[in-house]
Every structure is written in structure tokens, then in C-alpha cells.
Amino acid sequence: MSASSGTAPSGTRAAGLRIVGGSAVRTLVLAALLSAATDLSGLGLLATATWLISRAAQRPPIVALTVAIVAVRALAIGKGTLRYLERLAGHDAALRVLARLRTRVYAKLSRDAGRLPRGDLLARLVSDVDSVQDLLLRCAIPAAVAGVVTVVTVGFTAAFSGPAALLLAAGLLTAGLALPALAFRLADRAAARIAEVRGRYLAASVDVLAGAADLAVFGATGSALAGAAGQATALARLERRAGAVGAATGAVGALIPGATAIGVFAVTVRGGPSVMVAVLSLLALAAVEAVLPLTGAAVRYAELRGAWRRIRPLLAADSPAPPDPAPAPLPAPLAGDGADRDGAARDGAARGGADRGGADEGGADRGGADRDGADVGSRRVADAPVPAIAARRIEVRYPGVAVPALSGIDLDLSPGRRVAVVGPSGAGKSTLLGVLVGQLRPTAGRLLVDGVTLTSPRSGVADSPTEPDGLGWPRSGGVLADGYVFHASVRENLTLGRTGFDDPALGRALTDAGLPDWAGRLDDLIGEDGATLSGGQRQRLLLARALLDPPPVLVLDEPTEGLDPAAADAVLADVLRVTAGHTVVMVTHRLVDLRAFDEIVVLVDGRIAQRGGHDALLARPGWYSTWTGIREVPDSAIGSGVGR
Amino acid sequence: MRLPGLRTYFVAVTGSGVLAAILVVAQASALSQLIAAGVSGRLDRGALVATAVVIALRAAHHAAQGVLAARAAANVKAGLRERLLAAVSDRGPGWLAGQRAGELATLVGRGVDALDNYLIGYLPTLVLGVTVPVAVLARLAFGDRTSALVITLTLPLIPIFAILVGWHTRTRTERQWRLLSRLGGHFLDMLSGMSTLRAFGRARAQIDVVRGMAEKYRGATMATLRVAFLSALVLELVATVSVALVAVPVGLRLLDGRVTLPVALLVLLLAPEAYAPLRAAGAQFHASQEGLAAATDAFALLESSEPGRQARVARVTARVPDPGAVELVFDRVTAGYGDSPVLCEASFTVPAGERVALVGPSGAGKSTVLALLLGFIEPEHGRILAGGVDLSTVDLAAWRARLAWVPQRPHLFAASVLDNIRLGAPDASVEAVETAARAAQAHGFVGALPDGYATVLGERGYGLSSGQRQRLALARAYLRGDASLLLFDEPTARLDSASEAAVLAAAATLARDRTALLVAHRPALVATADRILWVAGGTVREETAGDGGGTLVADRTLIRVEGSGAA
């Protein structure tokens, strides 16, 4: 890559390549060398053929030409073959870099404390990473090749004529450095504006498409279409202008090879009759033509630079774990606050090593004889200690919201306890689950595990399927509101790469979750985020995933949403049977038959309004007795109505 | 390709291609004269001037061609975009509901942009692939027939080999593409599901999977490319070997004086030019295919006409009844999206001024009833009568103008809160908008937004919670003063209990003296209704819950009374 430094603005690229790693850089250098060799064979072919013809015109004995004849043929075949190898090597190198980048970006995000990008921004991140391929194939390698071509052709010319070499160098630098720099500057400004207007056009077209119903009913389709057309016209205007600028620089570029060739001809012809007049002139023409594509590369670089800038922070060396152990003022997602697992573990050790020892002991003696008996229908529960969890005066505030999402929450989850969380939408039910699994950091209050206060956030990197993560956090999880269905087989969606589950185990999990038919379709592919699934199927698949190896503390956010009442009741009964012995916290909107739960917690506006068993709550006036059963009125009425 | 403006562009590109070919031949002729003289130490001033002039002309032509192509591509794309969005809107929300809005947005965005490769890159190069070889051969026919013959014989090898290699590798390549697209999408999939992986403690374990899949992607791509680049290899070899095939014999014929040096140099300069455009076209072929694929999708969308819609325009005869002042009758209506009907022979009546709650399990057809009244879909069988007038014969826009609709998921437009609220009444004053927002319990949170009513919403703008969206949609409905039929699709589904009560009060005020159909799950909403319609199993049953919803809540039981028009 050393050659590239002289021919293009490549400082950031060089830095990026260091990040990307050694083996990929070696393949890249190989690709650049092959590419340079291809170009040089082409130039050599032209120079040799020119020499052959010009010399032949002087009618020498044929022996004088044999070497040239062989060289022409060899270079002709060599160029074609080299071109093939060069393209393969270039793509291989780019894909190697892409593989490394994807791994690094994923690894970085998997332990990043920040919010995960979503939707639009996530798609942009992925395309940003992918665009590195283009950056290498269309910008970096051509720049390196241009450097090699410049050095070799100027050196060759200098051996015959100093002034011609100077002229050639001037032509090459103009075409390979000055013009690309100019094109870059012009395109950089235009690219930013075009990207902005294109974004506005896309927003307008999404409004027309996704908001079609609203527009139609409110009679605003026409004006929305006109707005989108206006943005498209503005975009076209910018594209036309950028095209004109590009054509102008292209025209200047088209002048340079000819001008250089004429200049080289003019200085060499003064030296009297010589074959080299022809060779050097035509070589100059072809060499300058060979570096002209750099203008296009510079334009491309201007377009890709934004992408590269956006992903560079993700490639930076991991920063050390933030030292602040105090609860953050805002409920930032905790996952992976530590930059890496060791760093997070160090924090934990520094703050409460002794406590953690206690926690481990607490975990070790949790097994009760009665639970072993209850475990018949469950899977693997014996492997996992079920800890006692207690929440004390938990409060969660979201940024910029005056009213806390949760406040004063006390909750006791002794091993094996079943708690249902009910209440109106927006009461903080999902937030409570987020706190229990360590996705959200409470802004006040304490969480205790086996009597020990958790002082450090849950590390998002705890990967051991059976052990706590070293910070005292119990293994917890289940069906969460943001559960994702992968574009993969049913099997992969259930196991998430966890090993040790045979087909019958997977089948049981599916059956328990109300998807018995799927047991025979383990290797069927599921669409992106479950696009081919109905809402109910999606929810049941997420439930099956949670039931496959239920963690000691299982949280379920509306696991039966989208199911008809009868199916929902059956699935719920199965879930409770299978998870006997586990601590279960379930958020539900269905207020029917919650007798199976040890405690029902009614959340209203972030506070616990009522709590107790089903019968006790029903006997007291309050939210629960007012609303239980009512929610189901339509469903139950339909049930009877259909049977009529 | 039937793109607007494309024909003119094609004619212009052809003219430009002919000119380019003439200039290529002219430059080679002048340059070979100049250099042949130079080898013997002479400076041919005439040839020098000619060479310089031709070089300048080529630069000017380059500029003109670039401007022409950029203009044409930009205009064609803008025109296509306008027609696409118009065609999609023309089909209406009922059709769109069955489509993936994301795919359509990609088509009008990136898909149309991909036409650049075809219009600016491939098409002009393809034209050059015809004009330049013809010009070169014509010139050489007057200079060196032998070389012209060699080029004539080898030139067709390029397309022939391209087709043969493409043919041979097509099935294999196609099989690979599907694998490639899945492997390529894996990274996005993993990032999308990151929070799930974290919850299951699998995020770190998947790093190796991401690495493995990226490596697999590389392997599969390289396997595809090794085959795909074979055609490039063949084309390159044909071109370079042909140059050698021309140059060496010409050199040998120079030895015994059968050709002159200027002619020999001309052959050397022109021979590669004959092959260059065809090779370039081959290289740009794949890039242009993406644009062509997008164009094919676009034409499929533009061309398949919507017979139902045209028939509707022809049918419109009746004057538009006031929807709130007349009786609405569903007469054995069968309707749905796609193949399977959601409603089956459903019949019911809504008298003027009544507030009716539609209840039933999800997917049973509650929203379909609203979609029929909104004109998003039409009954496959049966009729909907408004005051005795068949709804399929009224002017849809005028009918909709009398409706107020609060959908399940109102769309936030990339515009200010103000413009989002006055969607149906763009001329409404700021005061009117604020009044509507107050009535919809939206004024409070709007005031707390960074720029108040001027805050820009939408995907890239400020996001609102579901409840807040719902209240904006209610404000939209409020601003439609002359709407007489209210269609609410679970307007309080995502509201907390405090705002639910407030919104219900607001909705009750709005519904006064108007007919209202409310899709409802929540008891509080059901309680505001005069009557309840059960939607289940494809039919709609009329039920009266005693003394309105109040009894329903108090007794937690239903008093079933046969409705007047029960199925």
C-alpha cells in the first residue's frame, strides 16, 4: 500500500487498514500488485508492439525482432490472465476485510453500553459496513495501482529522455492527483446535498406509501404526491448539476493524455530519428489514460467517506470500562457497561467480591426437596440454581419525563414463586420486567439476590447458560417485549446457538408453547422478523424459545398475546406446568383465572395499586375486581354466541 | 423499456456514439501520421495541428455526452418516481395493505437510482460497442485489409463467448445468488436481534457465528465470482491476443515493405479501440441488471391496471349522502383482503346518530368493517347502503370528506405537528388546530415537545409514543368539523388509564349528533356505546347489552337480546 500514499488522500484509509488487520492487508497488497501487473502488461504490450512496428519499418534482419514478437504474444496472454487473477484477489481481499469488519462491529455492539441502533439507522449501519468493499475495490486499489504505474513509466521514460520523463510525470500527476483532488472537492459538496435531498425524498415517499390510508381519508393524497414529486424534482436538479460538473472534469481529463503524448513527442522528436519517439509518445498516451479512472474513484470516495466516518468509531480500540458504579441518573440499558467481560468482572470484584461469594453460596443451597419433586415436567431446572430476588423501593425514570415510569416498587420473588403483573397499558409493566432481567437500571432502590444487594449492572456479555454472570445477576430471561425472530430455521430460532437440545426437546418446547404442528418443521426457514408469521405464531415461537431451557427466573411479557381465549388458557397452563420450580413473573392483559399465581401485582401509573391472590383481590373493591373478566367479555360472549 | 424520455435519449446517445467513433478514428489517423514522421525525425505540422484539434474535439464531446446522460438519467428517474407513487396511490390503501410498504419504498428509492448504471453507464457503452468497431473496420478497409479481416473475424468472438460462458454458468450462479443473499443478510439479522441475544446471554457466543457466516459469505461469493469472471477473462484474452494477432503480422509485412509505417501504426492504435467498448459493456452488464430488474418491477406496477377502480369511476352516479344522517346497512357483505374473505355474508344496520361498538377477537373482521366504510376495499358480494344508496356508486373522495377516522396506528408524517393535525384541513388556523388538540388531550404533550407545534415528526424526526400518536389522530378527526360519521379503530388501545378517560370524554363530545362506529377491546370504550356488534367467524351479530355498556360493567355478564337485523 506504500505506493498509494502519494496518489490519493489515503491517511484515513491507512488508519482503517491497520484496524482491519494483518492477513487482510496482505491479501489487499497482493490484489494491488496483481492489478498493477495487469496494467503494466497492457502498457508493456503497447510499448513493445510500437517498438516492433517502428523497428520493422527500418527493415532490420528478422532476428532483431524475435524477442519483441515473443514478448508481444506473452504480454497479450499475460494481461488477460492477470486481469482475471487480479479481480479475484481484489474481491477476496475486500470480502476478508468485510468479514473482519462485520465481526468487529458486531462484537463491539454486543458489549456496548449505548442504545442499539434500530430500523432506519440499523439498515444504514449495515450498508455503511458493506460499502467498505467499494472503498477498497474502487478507491484504494486503483490509487495504489496508479502509484505503481506512475513510478514505473516515469522511470522507464527517464532512461531515454529526462525532459520526456518530466512531462510524463506532470501529465500523470495532473490526471492522477490534481484532477481527482478537484473532483473530490466538487463531489464532496454535491454528495452531501444530494444525500440530504434524497433522504427528504425517501421520507416523502414513505409518507405516501405508509400513510396512504390516512392521506386517502383526509383527502390529502394529492398534496402528498405533489410534495414527493417536488422533492424528486429537486433531487433531479442536483443530479443534473453534479452530472455537469462531472462531465466538465471528465473533459479536462480527456485532454490530458493527448496533451502529454504531444508534449513527449515534441521533446523526443528533437533528438533526431529514433524508434523511441513512437514508443515514448504512445506509452505516455496509454499511461495517463490508465490513471484517469482515479477521478471517478475520487468521486466515489466522496460518496463513501460519510459511511466510513460513521463506522470508524465502532472500530476504535475498546475504551476501558467506565469506573462509575453509582446508579446512572437515567435508566440507560445496562447491557455490557464494561467494555469487555474481564473489565466488567474487575469492576464487580473491586466493589463487592466478598458479597459475591455469599451470593454463590446462597445459590448453591437453594435446592429444596419439594422442588425436585415438582420438576418432573420441566427441563434442566436441576442444573440452574433458583435464587431469591427482592426489589426494594425500585424507581425508574425515563429521560425527559417528569413522572417516573416506576416508583416505590417492592417485590419478593422467593424461589419458585409465580407473580402476575397486570394493569392498564403504560402502567410500567414491561419496565418492571426490564429491571428484573437487568436490561434497565433503576434510578433508585435496590435489587437483592439471595439477600445480597446487586451493586453493579448486569453484564450483557454473560454467556454461560447455567451460571450467574459473576456479578451476582441470576440467569433470567424469557419472552420480552422486544423479542426478535431471526431469519433462520425454526431450530436455530429456538436454540439461538445453545447446544445440547435434541429434536424431542425442541418439539416439547413447541408443543408447550402451543405450536405442536411445528415440531416436524424444525428446519423450515422463517422470514425476516417473522414477516411470514402471524402475531400469535410469533409470540408462541418466542415462548417456545423461552421454554426450551427456562432460566431460573423466567419473565414473560404477554406470552399469549394474539391467541384466542381457549388456546391462551391451554398454553398458560402448560407454561406453568413446565416451569414448576422456576420463579415466573408474567405480564398479562388477560385477567381471567389468575388463581394459579401466588401473587397478582396491579400496577397503575408506575405504582403498585393492589397486590394479593386472585380471590383476595376479587373480594376487595379496586382495579382488579372492576376489570377482571370484563376484558374478556367480547371473547367469552363470542364463545357462547358461536355455540348457539 | 418504455421509460418516458428514453426514446429521445436513445436517439441522442446513438448520434453521440457515431460522433465518438468518428473522433476515435480521426485521432488514430492523425496521431499515426504524426508519429510515423517523428520516427524519421520529422515534425509534421499539419498532423500535429490535426491531432491537437481532434483531442480537443474529443474532450468537448466527452463533456457534452456527460451532461446529456446525467440530464436524461435525472429526468427519467424523476418522471418514473412520480408515476410510481401516483400508480400506488391510485390503487388505494386496500391494495397497499397487502403489500410490503418497505419494498415499495426501496423500489422508488434505491431501485430507481440503480437505473443510473443502465442509463449513464451501460446504454452509451453498448452504442459505442456498435459504432466504434464499424468505424474502425471501415477505416482499416481503406488502409490494411488483412488487419481488418482479422478484427472482423475475432470481434464476434466477444459476444459469442460472453453468451456461451454466461449460459454455461447461469444455473450455477443463480443457485449461488440465493445462498449469497441469505448469507449477506445474516449480519443485519444478527444486529436486529441483538437485544434478544443479550437477553438469552447469547450475544457474545454469536460473535463466532457472525465471523463464521461472514467467512462463508466470502467463500460463496468467491465461488460465484470465479465462474462469473471467466467471461471477463475470455473477453480480455480475445481482445489482447487479437491485438497481438494484428501487430505481429503487420510488423512482419513492414519488413518486406507491403505496408507503410503510418498504416502499421494506425492498425496498432485502432485495433484495441475496436474491442474496448464491447469489453466495457460486458463489465457494466451486471451493474446495469439491478437497474433493469427495478425497472421491470416498476413496469409491472405501472401496467397492470386496476379494473375495479376504473369500473368504479364509470359507476359513480349517485349524489353523496350525508353519512351521519342516514341509516347504514350492510346487506350480506362478503369482503376481505386477498383470497380468503374475512367477512362472510355479514348483515347489520346502524341507524343514524347511533354509537356502535364493534367487538370480537382480533382478525375477526372489525377493521374490515371500517375499511369497507372507508372505501379501502369493496365487497366481493353484497352491498353497503347509506340511506338506500349503494356505497360503490358514490364519489369516494366526497364520501370520505364526511368521515372522521382514528386508525389503530396513525401514520406520523415527516412534517410539523401542526401540519400533521391539519392533514385534512390544510388551511385551518393555528387556533383551530390548538382547539382540536385540546379536545383530543394532545395540547399538553405537544407543548412539551422541543418546538411545540412546529416540532417535525416522522421516522427521522421526533418520535411519539403510541398513545400520543392516537391523540394526534383524534385531533385530526376533531378538525374535520363537517364529518358526520366517526370511525374509531381502538382509539384508546395504547393509552394509560388517566388519558383513556380523558380521550373517551373527548370522543363522546365529538360523537354527539353523529353516527359512530368504534372498534373496541377496552371495557371503558364499550361502555360508551349505545349498542354492541359482535364480529366473529366472519359474521356480525347484533346484541344489545341491556342498558348500554353500564350494565355490562356492573354485572360482568351479558344480557343477550336479538337485534333487529341479526344474521
Domain count, chain A: 2
Q: Does B481 touch chain A (CB under 8 A)?
A: no
Chosen domain end from A263, A292, A315: A315
Residue A57 and residue A278 in contact, taking contact as beta carbons nearer than 8 Å: no
Residue B219 lies in a domain: yes
pLDDT at A185: 92
Residue A82 lies in a domain: yes
Based on the fold, state whether residues A173 and A54 are members of the same structural domain.
yes
**pLDDT band per the 50, 70, 90 thresholds, residue A549:** confident
Burial of A477 (0-12, 13-18, 19+ CB in 10 A): buried
pLDDT at A354: 34
| DSSP structure string for A429-454 | HHHHHHHHTTSB--SEEEEEETTEE-
Based on the fold, state whether residues B374 and B417 are members of the same structural domain.
yes
Based on the fold, state whether residues B334 and B432 are members of the same structural domain.
yes
CB contact under 8 A, A278 and B229: no
CB contact under 8 A, A219 and B200: no
Closest residue in chain B to residue A61, using alpha carbons only: B255
Residue B471 lies in a domain: yes
Based on the fold, state whether residues A110 and A251 are members of the same structural domain.
yes
CB contact under 8 A, A341 and B63: no
Q: Does B199 touch chain A (CB under 8 A)?
A: yes
Q: Which of A569, A571, A549, A581 is nearest to A376 (CA)?
A: A581
Pairing of strands B381-386, B328-335: antiparallel
More confident residue, A613 or A169: A169
Place of cell 401473587: A599
**pLDDT band per the 50, 70, 90 thresholds, residue A335:** very low
Based on the fold, state whether residues A543 and A413 are members of the same structural domain.
yes
Report the distance separating Cα B434 and Cα B456, nearest Å. Answer: 16
Residue B158 lies in a domain: yes
Residue A4 lies in a domain: no
Residue A484 lies in a domain: yes
Enumerate residues 433 to 452 of chain B having a beta carbon within 8 A of any beta carbon in chain A: none
Q: Does A569 touch chain B (CB under 8 A)?
A: no
The single-letter code of the amino acid at A531 is A
Q: Does A255 touch chain B (CB under 8 A)?
A: yes
Q: Does B554 touch chain A (CB under 8 A)?
A: no
Report the distance separating Cα B515 and Cα B192, nearest Å. Answer: 44
Residue A206 has its nearest CB partner, among B250, B269, B459, at: B459
Closest residue in chain A to residue B479, using alpha carbons only: A218
Residue B318 lies in a domain: no
CATH number of the domain residue B482 falls in: 3.40.50.300
Over residues A94-107, mean pLDDT: 87
Residue B475, pLDDT > 70, answer yes
Name the 3-class secondary structure at A413. Answer: strand
How many C-beta atoms lie closer than 10 Å to residue A497's C-beta?
A: 13
More confident residue, B98 or A630: B98
Chain B interface mutation, best of A50, A63, A496, highest count of B Cβ atoms under 10 Å: A496
Report the distance separating Cα B298 and Cα B303, nearest Å. Answer: 9
Q: Does B398 touch chain A (CB under 8 A)?
A: no
Residue A453 lies in a domain: yes
Report the distance separating Cα A603 and Cα A435, nearest Å. Answer: 15
Sign of the torsion angle spanned by Cα atoms B22, B28, B31, B36: negative
> Is the pTM above the cut of 0.90?
no
CATH number of the domain residue A607 falls in: 3.40.50.300
Residue A633, pLDDT > 70, answer no
Residue B554, pLDDT > 50, answer no
Based on the fold, state whether residues A133 and A221 are members of the same structural domain.
yes
Name the 3-class secondary structure at B535. Answer: strand
Over residues A167-183, mean pLDDT: 96
Interface pTM, i.e. ipTM = 0.83
Residue A643 lies in a domain: no
b/e code B189-198 from CB counts within 10 Å (16+ = b): bbbbbbbbbb
Q: How far apart are the first and last CA of chain A?
A: 81
Q: Which of B334, B351, B342, B355 is nearest to B386 (CA)?
A: B351
**How close does chain A come to B548, measured CA to CA in Å?**
14
Report the distance separating Cα A151 and Cα A154, nearest Å. Answer: 5
Over residues B495-507, mean pLDDT: 69
Closest residue in chain A to residue B263, using alpha carbons only: A53
CATH number of the domain residue B50 falls in: 1.20.1560.10
Report the distance separating Cα A360 and Cα A12, nearest Å. Answer: 48
How many C-beta atoms lie closer than 10 Å to residue A81's C-beta?
A: 15
Based on the fold, state whether residues B73 and B171 are members of the same structural domain.
yes
Based on the fold, state whether residues B42 and B133 are members of the same structural domain.
yes
Chosen domain end from B290, B313, B336: B313
Place of cell 400518536: B469
Cα B432 to the center of its chain, rounded Å:
36
Based on the fold, state whether residues A112 and A236 are members of the same structural domain.
yes
Kindly list the residues from chain A whose CB atom is less than 8 angstroms away from the CB atom of residue B418: none
Mean pLDDT, chain A, whole residue set: 77
CB contact under 8 A, B74 and A464: no
Q: Which of B385, A324, B232, A546 is nearest to A334 (CA)?
A: A324
Q: What residues contact A151, with CB distance under 8 A and at least 6 apart?
A: A3
The model's pLDDT over B213-239, given as tens digits with 9 standing for 90+, comes to: 888 888 888 888 887 788 778 888 888
**pLDDT band per the 50, 70, 90 thresholds, residue A349:** very low
CA angle A204, B491, A585 (to 5 degrees): 105
pLDDT at A380: 44
Report the distance separating Cα B458 and Cα B423, nearest Å. Answer: 14
Chosen domain end from A315, A343, A362: A315
Name the 3-class secondary structure at B540. Answer: strand
Residue B323 lies in a domain: no
φ/ψ of residue A330, rounded to 5: -120, 150
Residue B319 lies in a domain: no
Based on the fold, state whether residues B378 and B305 are members of the same structural domain.
no
Report the distance separating Cα A259 and Cα A166, nearest Å. Answer: 14
Residue B484, pLDDT > 70, answer yes
CB contact under 8 A, B558 and A633: yes
Over residues B189-208, mean pLDDT: 79
Residue B423 has its nearest CB partner, among A205, A208, A220, at: A220
For chain B, what percent of residues have pLDDT higher than 90?
A: 25
Burial of B254 (0-12, 13-18, 19+ CB in 10 A): buried
Enumerate residues 229 to 248 of chain B having a beta carbon within 8 A of any beta carbon in chain A: 229-230, 232-233, 236-237, 239-241, 243-244, 247-248
The single-letter code of the amino acid at A258 is G
The model's pLDDT over B55-64, given as tens digits with 9 standing for 90+, comes to: 999 999 999 9
Residue A472, pLDDT > 60, answer no
The model's pLDDT over B77-111, given as tens digits with 9 standing for 90+, comes to: 999 999 999 888 888 887 777 666 667 887 888 88
Residue A477 has its nearest CB partner, among B199, B254, B467, at: B199
Kindly list the residues from chain A whose CB atom is less than 8 angstroms away from the CB atom of residue B413: 207, 211, 214, 224
CB contact under 8 A, A52 and B247: yes
Report the distance separating Cα A503 and Cα A548, nearest Å. Answer: 11
pLDDT at A14: 52
Report the distance separating Cα A8 and Cα A26, nearest Å. Answer: 20
Q: What is the DSSP letter of B397?
A: H
Chain B interface mutation, best of A564, A633, A642, highest count of B Cβ atoms under 10 Å: A633
More confident residue, B7 or A233: A233
Beta strands across the sheet bearing B515-519: B403-406, B485-489, B515-519, B355-359, B531-536, B539-543
Cell numbers placing B457:
415528526
Chosen domain end from B282, B313, B344: B313
**How close does chain A come to B327, measured CA to CA in Å?**
21
Report the distance separating Cα A149 and Cα A396, nearest Å. Answer: 64
Kindly list the residues from chain B whose CB atom is less than 8 angstroms away from the CB atom of residue A103: 207, 210-211, 214
Residue B539, pLDDT > 60, answer yes
Give the range of the structural domain holding residue A487, as residue numbers without chain letter: 385-638
Based on the fold, state whether residues B382 and B505 are members of the same structural domain.
yes
Kindly list the residues from chain B whose CB atom is less than 8 angstroms away from the CB atom of residue A105: 191
Residue A77 and residue B248 in contact, taking contact as beta carbons nearer than 8 Å: no
Pairing of strands B403-406, B389-390: unpaired
Q: What is the DSSP letter of B529?
A: -
Cell numbers placing B494:
395504547
Based on the fold, state whether residues B245 and B391 are members of the same structural domain.
no
pLDDT at B73: 93
Burial of B547 (0-12, 13-18, 19+ CB in 10 A): exposed
Pairing of strands A599-604, A553-557: unpaired
Kindly list the residues from chain A whose CB atom is less than 8 angstroms away from the CB atom of residue B250: 53
The model's pLDDT over A274-316, given as tens digits with 9 standing for 90+, comes to: 999 999 999 999 999 999 999 999 988 988 888 888 888 777 6
Domain count, chain B: 2
The model's pLDDT over A12-32, given as tens digits with 9 standing for 90+, comes to: 555 555 556 667 788 889 999
The model's pLDDT over A499-536, given as tens digits with 9 standing for 90+, comes to: 888 899 999 999 888 888 888 888 887 765 455 566 67
Lowest mean pLDDT among A114-118, A334-338, A479-483, A528-532: A334-338
Report the distance separating Cα B284 and Cα B292, nearest Å. Answer: 12
More confident residue, B1 or B495: B495
Chosen domain end from B280, B313, B346: B313
Sign of the torsion angle spanned by Cα atoms B217, B219, B220, B224: positive
Closest residue in chain B to residue A125, using alpha carbons only: B188
The model's pLDDT over B297-310, given as tens digits with 9 standing for 90+, comes to: 888 888 765 555 55
Closest residue in chain A to residue B256, using alpha carbons only: A59
**How many Cβ pairs closer than 8 A exist between chain A and B?**
488
pLDDT at B302: 82
Residue B204 has its nearest CB partner, among A52, A95, A110, at: A110
pLDDT at A338: 32
The model's pLDDT over B440-450, given as tens digits with 9 standing for 90+, comes to: 888 888 888 87
Residue B371, pLDDT > 70, answer yes
Residue B467, pLDDT > 90, answer no
Based on the fold, state whether residues B76 and B171 are members of the same structural domain.
yes
CA angle A214, A218, A223 (to 5 degrees): 90
Cell numbers placing A173:
500527476
Lowest mean pLDDT among A136-140, A263-267, A456-460, B124-128: A456-460
Q: Does B10 touch chain A (CB under 8 A)?
A: no
Residue A344 and residue A351 in contact, taking contact as beta carbons nearer than 8 Å: no
Residue B321 lies in a domain: no
Kindly list the residues from chain B whose CB atom is less than 8 angstroms away from the CB atom of residue A207: 411, 413-414, 458
Residue A326 lies in a domain: no
Based on the fold, state whether residues A76 and A164 are members of the same structural domain.
yes
Q: Does A114 touch chain B (CB under 8 A)?
A: no
Based on the fold, state whether residues B276 and B374 are members of the same structural domain.
no
Based on the fold, state whether residues B267 and B373 are members of the same structural domain.
no
Q: Which of A594, A592, A595 is nearest to A636 (CA)?
A: A592
CB contact under 8 A, B43 and A269: yes
**How close does chain B come to A5, measured CA to CA in Å?**
28
Residue A413 and residue A405 in contact, taking contact as beta carbons nearer than 8 Å: no
Chosen domain end from A315, A334, A351: A315
Residue A379 lies in a domain: no
Based on the fold, state whether residues A308 and A434 are members of the same structural domain.
no
**How close does chain B come to A47, measured CA to CA in Å?**
11
Residue B245, pLDDT > 80, answer yes
Q: Does A486 touch chain B (CB under 8 A)?
A: yes
Based on the fold, state whether residues A516 and A421 are members of the same structural domain.
yes
Report the distance separating Cα A241 and Cα A344, nearest Å. Answer: 53
Residue A324, pLDDT > 50, answer no
Give the range of the structural domain holding residue B425, as residue numbers without chain letter: 328-566
Q: How far apart are the first and last CA of chain B?
A: 53
Based on the fold, state whether residues B368 and B432 are members of the same structural domain.
yes
Q: What is the DSSP letter of A175?
A: I
More confident residue, A598 or A401: A598
**pLDDT band per the 50, 70, 90 thresholds, residue B561:** very low
**How close does chain B come to A541, measured CA to CA in Å?**
13
Closest residue in chain B to residue A234, using alpha carbons only: B78
Based on the fold, state whether residues B361 and B433 are members of the same structural domain.
yes
